[in-house]
Structure 1
Amino acid sequence: MCPKELEEKYKRKAKAFKNLKHEYISPKRAGMVEALDNSVGRIINKLDALGIADNTIIILTGDNGGNFDETTGGLKGYKGFSHEGGVKEPFIINWPGQTKPGSKNDAVVIGMDFYPTILEMANLPLKPDEHLDGVSMVSLMNGTSKKLDRNEVYWHYPHYHRTKPYGAIRKGDFKLIEFFEDSALELYDLSIDPNETQNIIGTNPLLGEELLSKLKNWRANIGAQMMHENPNYNSNKTEIKRRKKGM
């Protein structure tokens, strides 16, 4: 939620802002960001006051990318998509005595990595049976490694929400997306095309086959649930609803 006074503050700023780059402007979102920043500041100040800041790990992150196109910094897709605009998110950590202030790392990590990471941070034994897809990020945080000991990361999204059902795999700089409805494939080289504007599956069929095989094997190995056809689905009713909504 955005406090009313902050929304009004940024409405006033927006009136005087020369938007030369035609950027998306939202006083409410700007106010929400400031409110979040203030909240984090209050937490840090309280930790200092209690004398436990040096023994407290702070992690700031999100669970998805932007909420719609104008909030992803030009990246393709948004929340729900496996394109970069949907899966790239903020990740900031302060671990006193371990993380170096101002340091950065561009290794690929995923939400499942938090479980083994926090266990190792707390000097607790790892539980491999409970975090099968996760890898501890401690070596990245303390600077002893530049990347994780993992070749691929996977996504499985057999739902209709914002996008069509899909599965995806990223290996190195290459990402393959498989859409379950029609088996359509998208392949991107993120090292030269981070905005995913060029689907290179047509010119790289062997790489596409390799990644698709890995993706299918991964789904089989973990017993991933797939979609089932709805016997009661009526395409005519769906079309009528779309027309009523003006879609």
Structure 2
Amino acid sequence: MPRLLMLLSLLTSVSTTTCLVTPTLAADASRPNVVMILADDQGWGDLSIHGNQNIATPNIDQLAKDGARFDWFYVCHLCAPTRAEMLTGRFYGRTGVRGVSTGQERLNLDEKTIAQYFKEAGYATGAFGKWHNGMQFPYHPNARGFDEYYGFCSGHWGHYFSPELDHNNTLVRCEGYITDDLTNHAIEFIAANQDKPFFCYVPYCTPHSPMQVPDQYYDKFANMDPSMKNRDPEKEQVGMTRAALAMCENVDWNVGRILKTLDDLDLAKNTIVIYFSDNGPNSWRWNGDMKGRKGSIDEGGTRVPCFIRYPGTIKPETQISEIAGAVDFLPTLLDFAGIETTYPQPIDGRSLKPLLTGKEVAWPDRALIASRNHQISVRNQAYRLDNDGKLYNILEDIGQRHDVSQQHPDVAQELKQIAQQYRTEMLPKDDHRPFTVGYSASTPLPARDGVAHGEIKRSAPAPNCSYFTDWKTTEGTITWDVEVGEPGTYEAIVYYTCPTENVGVEIQAELLGQKTAATINQAHDPAAYGPERDRFHRGAESPVKDFKPFSLGTLELPQGHGTLTLSAPKIPGGGAIEVRYVWLNRQ
């Protein structure tokens, strides 16, 4: 066993095996439903239950009061890593997730997800929102244990009012404001499966940018001067705070809708409801004097709200003082559901059921890891060791102002040893995984996953929701590194825009020695939109356009690894096209 696994097993007492190989239900176990709600970029301080007087979140507050409230709950510094830890019960550095875009967000295929465990145990499984752990099959949520999926697979989305979304790997149009619409679909799933056990995952995409929210939520905050500000008020952008708080109140309203649905269907008593966030706040705003924000591996970037309600099993007003994290959800929920299993790989999480049910058990101290690139921070029950080797007693100094490493050299040395082993075994490595084609009938290859050559540029710095533009000459190309998993005939469809003066441009797709080309004979030149609905400037987020599909013909592809190249052999006008996707659809 690697040294880090030995260290962590001593600190966490994780059991990696039980009696059964295939998940089954214990004979006398009831089968609780599970609803897991995940906010995106909501900080610990973005709730009224945590003392923020700028905001009212009555539904989430009541959820916390009706169940368990975690004092010290930890996730990762960014979105995709937290989702990987929740899905697998393992530190994200083990899972293949390296970042948040261009393929680095993908969860390795040998990882087994929490949805797969529940599905194998007979649960209906559905996810409604931001996936962010892989787009192409077999990385897509439908291939990772979710029967039903509605949302988007990227990390960022450019517009929140009736945007384009993915419904079971098919492009559809959202109806209305995205958070409301995701909730509608989650409610429909709950109602459709009320007579069987279900696992319903609702990963919202707000208050992540773009900072868009309906008037009915924003009007309250439009002219607010927040009474509570960030610990460094000169850093706070009040316009961003206003928009984020309005988006959080919309999330609260939608949480209330889900809870009401469970009540109306008489499901609440047998449903575990979890609410948490994926990282710290996405701006400098009030966050309980903690250091850092989203992207940081200090307290403010990794400590988030977490509440769990299970009527009749978890007592109201339960307060959990032990540290816990996203890695604990998988073993905890399997434990509550009575699903016994052998984990295919060692996990880092620990079942929190004894703490949640008030059972008297030994609870050894443990270490939770926060990492960003080559930076490591380690948190145990009382202390945080930061990346610079400074030690803080968080129970006495939540703001991380006083280094106590000299007063507690043994603690500092122990946590440094854990950090060093993590560096040795789990730091990001070069990622050479190609994008997978042919593992489903239709495979999208978005601009996010492509590489532009020549003068071609992205529509915005953040790749996730971008498209390729400024394609002026025949020297420009766009490429995707792909692996074709199944040989066959594939139709290549490009999603494009083209002004009238560029009609007649020829576009060619080439892969694994095969070529197909077609001439764009119809203009499609829609205006970009999105920023006009922003409550605060969007920064790196791309605007959006309504792209049109156009068939380039078919390719007879062998199985293999190669480069899909999109080129423009003939450009009779002033340029070529803009590109949002190429889809390869198996015939």
Q: TM-score range by the shorter chain?
A: 0.7 to 0.9
For 2:398, the equivalent position in structure 1 comes to 194
CA distance in 1, matches of 2:348, 2:371: 12
For 1:240, the equivalent position in structure 2 comes to none
CA distance in 2, matches of 1:218, 1:22: 35
CA distance in 1, matches of 2:346, 2:334: 11
For 1:92, the equivalent position in structure 2 comes to 307
Q: Which runs of 5+ in 2 are unaligned?
A: 1-211, 231-235, 431-587
The structure richer in strand per residue is 2
Q: What's the offset of the Cα at 1:125?
A: 1.0
1:80 aligns with 2:295: yes
CA distance in 2, matches of 1:227, 1:109: 27
Q: Which amino acid aligns with 2:381?
A: G
CA distance 1:166–1:102, shift in 2 (3 Å): same
CA distance in 2, matches of 1:118, 1:146: 18
Contact 1:135 1:148 (8 Å CA) reproduced: no
Contact 2:296 2:302 (8 Å CA) reproduced: yes
1:224 aligns with 2:433: no
Contact 2:213 2:246 (8 Å CA) reproduced: yes
Aligned ranges 1:59-208 → 2 under 5 Å = 59-130=274-345, 132-145=347-360, 148-158=363-373, 165-178=374-387, 184-208=388-412
SS of 1:212's equivalent in the other structure is helix
Q: How many residues align?
A: 211
Q: What's the offset of the Cα at 1:209?
A: 2.4
CA distance 1:127–1:153, shift in 2 (3 Å): farther
CA distance 1:226–1:186, shift in 2 (3 Å): farther
Q: Give the TM-score normalised by structure 2.
A: 0.33
1:43 aligns with 2:252: no
**Greater Cα shift, 64-73 or 98-107:** 64-73
CA displacement, residues 3-40 of structure 1 (integer Å, 9 cap, x when unaligned): 1221112225x27x8x4x66765332232122111101
Q: Which amino acid aligns with 1:49?
A: D
Q: What's the offset of the Cα at 1:204?
A: 4.1
Contact 1:153 1:170 (8 Å CA) reproduced: yes
Contact 1:139 1:145 (8 Å CA) reproduced: yes
CA distance 1:196–1:42, shift in 2 (3 Å): same
Larger RCO: Structure 1 or Structure 2 (Cα < 8 Å, ≥ 6 residues apart)?
Answer: 2
Contact 2:218 2:246 (8 Å CA) reproduced: yes
CA distance in 1, matches of 2:400, 2:426: 26
Q: What's the offset of the Cα at 1:95?
A: 0.7
CA distance in 2, matches of 1:131, 1:97: 32
For 1:8, the equivalent position in structure 2 comes to 219
CA distance in 2, matches of 1:77, 1:112: 22
Percent sequence identity is 26
RMSD: 2.5
CA distance in 2, matches of 1:3, 1:130: 44
Q: What's the offset of the Cα at 1:201?
A: 3.0
The structure richer in helix per residue is 1
Contact 1:116 1:127 (8 Å CA) reproduced: no
For 2:12, the equivalent position in structure 1 comes to none
